[in-house]
Structures are given as structure tokens and as C-alpha cells.
Copies of this chain bind each other. A is one copy, B any other.
Amino acid sequence: MARLVLKFGGTSVGDIERIKNVARKVKQEVDAGHQVAVVVSAMSGVTNQLVDYCRSISKLHDAREYDAVVASGEQVTSGLLAIALQDLGIPARSWQGWQIPIITDDTHAKARIQRIDTTEVAKRMDETGEVAVVAGFQGVSERARIATLGRGGSDTSAVALAAALNAERCDIYTDVDGVYTTDPRIVSKARKIPRITYEEMLEMASQGAKVLQTRSVEMAMKHRVRVQVLSTFEQAPGSDYPGTLVVDEDEIVEQELVSGIAYSRDEAKVTLVGVEDRPGVAARIFGPLTDAAINVDMIVQNVSEDGKTTDMTFTVGKADLDRTVQVLEKAKGELNFRRLISDANVSKVSVIGVGMRSHAGVAQRMFKALADRGINIQVISTSEIKVSVLVAEEYTELALRALHTAYGLDAA
């Protein structure tokens, strides 16, 4: 007997039949003797509808009110799933964030979980075998206002609850059956990864793979919560772990050099031409962007040719590009650059694997594979377990396929 947390996303609870299907999956785990807590998202489409309501009343809506409005979607599914479970003879009750409580800070609309008091929930699971159906995505601030965790926050709710309940595993049920070596819609030879480390999953998520929310992976890594990503809709094929397990490096016997290849079309490139080349220039450029809450990702500073000026290139989110240009043009007098060039037609492609820590030549293989296809690399950035390059957007698919083959990831 183990304690499990199961999380079902919006597509999995998209209508009444699907909610009943989820109840049957939960019943299987209960019948197997497990103590189960379930975290649910809103029915698919509902959150978007609610967000639209808020926006159409006011673009500058109060985030606390926005939270009260959008958190209602998860409230509905938690109640409905509890009813569906009871209908199958499984004792169950719904829990809203404020009922448990899941205490958050008060940065509304993107709140962070501070702590979860599982005393009551755990007691009821222990004593009555009742399934706790928890509304995902939401908590309550110290001021007793409803707070939401930002889009995709239900993954984080689930992992945080698994950590607080000291659960054996957190199963994230979704519409794909696991984490793939790369996007199977683009690379037909993509393979499902049976096991992946927290570090790799974190890079995959933050480099564009949308299967898990980045923050949920950070939290899983921090609290060493074993996470499984698996499909709500496909039958489990007998295996203990039909999906992808996200686990500690120790749990992975055969480690690949590169585990996966991620990509993101959400990048835009900005180059400041003819910036003065002297200490403090980077701080003066990026200070105003930080103040405007614009995240800068890759940064490259060219070697100065004349010893006086240099070019500075960096990437920002595509949605932030217009604001970035505005902020920089406004500071032009102070920053003293000659020209600003921006380009939204770029993609970031990243190869990721803990194996590259102990192996040289991983980046070199990437550069060669891209060069062989005539793909020009615009910006490079690396971390201990990742190499990312920026390429023209039109080469995205070609680059993914070339790299997938180059690192021996193609399915047989």
C-alpha cells in the first residue's frame, strides 16, 4: 500500500463522460489498496472563458478578483469528481485551496505555495480511506483571499501536495503518454523516454517542452517527489510505469548522452549595435528590462574590434519584444548605442542530457549536424547539461530531425 497523488489536466476532465472515466482510473488505484489524493484542473476551455471575462471588463483588472473568478473552474471539477467517485462506491470529498489550506504568498495570479497543512486531509485518508479531491491551481493567501498559481499551476499543486503528504509518487495524467525525446508531431522517429532526471526534465520544460510546468519540476526536484507523466486516454500496457518517470539520477541505470531535444518558437532576438565597450554596460542595458519585468534569456557580447564599441545580442520572449524595443529606445540617450535590430523569426533549439557532464564533444556534434544542413547558428548558450542555439525559425523542423538522428535518438 502506498500513498499516491494523481493529477488530471483540463482535457482529462473536459466533459462529464471524461470525469466519469477519471473516477474509474482513481478507483483502480483505490482497489489496488492505495491511499489516493487527486488534483484536478478546470474543464478544458473554462479557464480561458473566465480569463476572457476578466479581460473584457478591464485590461487592468485586480489580480485578487481575477483569482476569485478563475479559481472557480477547479472548484467545479473537484466537486464533480467527488460525486463521480461516490457514485462508484468510493468515499471521496472535494477540498478547495482555502479548506485544506494551501497557503500561498499574495502575488496574485502567479502566487507561490508557502505551505500545505495536510493534517486534516491525511487524517481522513488514514482513518476512512476517503479520496481527497483537491482543486488544483489555487490556494489561499495569509489574508484569506483566493490566490491562483499561474497557468499550468495544477501540476505544481499536485507535486506540492505529494511532497506534503509524503506520497510515494505523483502521477500527472495528461493527453500524451509520456515525455518524448522530441516533439513527435515534428519528428516521427521520436521515442518515449522511460525515465528522465529532474535536471533534464527541468531543462526540457524551460526550453519549450510543454508537458510539465517548469515550476512543478523545480518543486519535484527540491522535494525529491517521484513524478510520472502518463496518458489519461490510453490503457496502461501492463507495465508498472506506462509513462515517463521523472526521478533522481540514481534511479536511472543506463544514461544516454543526450536525453531529449527541445525547441521554442517563443523567442525573439534583439541586437544593440555599437554599444560602448566599458565596465557596467551590461548592467545599464539589462537594468531597465528587469525593471519592466522582461526576462532576458540568451546573451552574447561580441569581442570589441576597435576597443571602444561592441555589439550586444540577447533574446526575450516574443510577447515581450515590442515592450523591450520601447524600453531600450527610451533609454537610447543613456545607453548610447548606434542602432537596435530586432528579429522575431527565430527558434531556440536545445539538446539536453546529464550525460554531457562527463562527455566532451556534445556541442561539437550539434554544430556539425546543423552545419551539414546549412543551418546558420545565430546565438549559442550552454549550461552544464544543455546546449541551446538560436536559428532562423524556418529551420526549426529540419534542425530537430538532424539533431535527433545525430545523437542516436531515432526509434528503430
Interface digits, A3-27 against B, CB 8 Å rule (1 contact, 0 not)? 0000000000000100110000000
- Asked if A396 lies at the interface with its beta carbon under 8 angstroms from chain B, I say no
Interface residues of A in 327-353 (CB under 8 A from B): none
Q: Which of A74-82, A163-171, A177-185, A368-376 contacts B (4 or more CB under 8 A)?
A: A74-82
Cβ contact within 8 Å between B84 and A57: yes
A30 CB, min distance to chain B CBs, angstroms: 17
Docked-complex contact B86 and A62, CB < 8 angstroms = yes
In the complex, whether A116 has a CB less than 8 A from a CB of chain B is no
What string of 1s and 0s marks CB contacts (under 8 Å) between A85-111 and chain B? 011000001101011000000000000
Q: Which of B71, B87, B144 contacts A58 (CB 8 A)?
A: B87
Beta-carbon contact of B79 and A66 below 8 Å: yes
User: Which of the segments A48-56, A212-220, A277-285 contacts the partner chain?
Assistant: A48-56
Q: Is the CB of B19 within 8 A of A57?
A: yes
Whether B99 contacts A83 by the Cβ 8 Å rule is no
Q: Of A16, A54, A57, A71, which is in contact with the most chain B CB atoms at under 10 Å from its CB?
A: A57
Main secondary structure of the interface of A (DSSP, over half): helix
A64 within 8 A of B: yes
What CA separation (Å) do A60 and B89 show in the bound complex? 12
A61 contacts the other chain (Cβ, under 8 Å)? yes
Chain A interface bracket (under 10, 10 to 19, 20 to 34, 35 or more): 35 or more
A68–B84 CB distance below 8 A:
no
A273: Cβ under 8 A from any B Cβ: no
Instruction: State the CA gap A144–B96 with chains docked (Å).
Output: 10
Q: Is the CB of B64 within 8 A of A69?
A: no
Q: Counting CB contacts under 8 A, is A309 at the interface? A: no
Query: Does A310 count as interface, using CB distance less than 8 angstroms?
Result: no
Which residues of chain B are near A96, meaning CB under 8 Å? 68, 146
Q: Which residue of B lies closest to A75 (CB)?
A: B72
Q: Complex Cα distance A60/B56, Å?
A: 38
Query: Does A276 belong to the interface (CB within 8 Å)?
Result: no
Q: Nearest residue in B to A98 (C-beta to C-beta)?
A: B98
Q: Nearest chain B CB to A56's CB is how many angstroms away?
A: 5
A65: CB under 8 A from chain B? yes
How far does the Cβ of A143 sit from chain B's closest Cβ, in whole Å?
Answer: 10
| A64 / chain B contacts, CB cutoff of 8 Å | 93
Assess whether A57 is in contact with B99, with CB atoms less than 8 Å apart: no
CB pair B65–A94 under 8 Å, yes or no, is yes
Query: Nearest chain-B residue to A133 (Cβ)?
Result: B65
Question: CB distance A99 to B20 under 8 Å?
Answer: no
Bound together, the chains give a CA A54 to CA B79 distance in angstroms of 9
Q: Which residues of A does B touch, CB under 8 Å?
A: 16, 19-20, 50, 53-54, 56-58, 60-62, 64-69, 71-73, 75-76, 78-80, 82-84, 86-87, 93-94, 96, 98-99, 144-146
- Can you name 30 A-B pairs with beta carbons within 8 Å? A16-B56, A19-B57, A20-B57, A53-B76, A53-B80, A54-B83, A57-B80, A57-B83, A57-B84, A57-B87, A58-B86, A61-B83, A61-B86, A62-B83, A62-B86, A65-B79, A65-B80, A65-B83, A65-B86, A66-B83, A67-B79, A68-B75, A68-B79, A69-B79, A69-B80, A72-B72, A75-B75, A96-B146, A98-B98, A99-B145
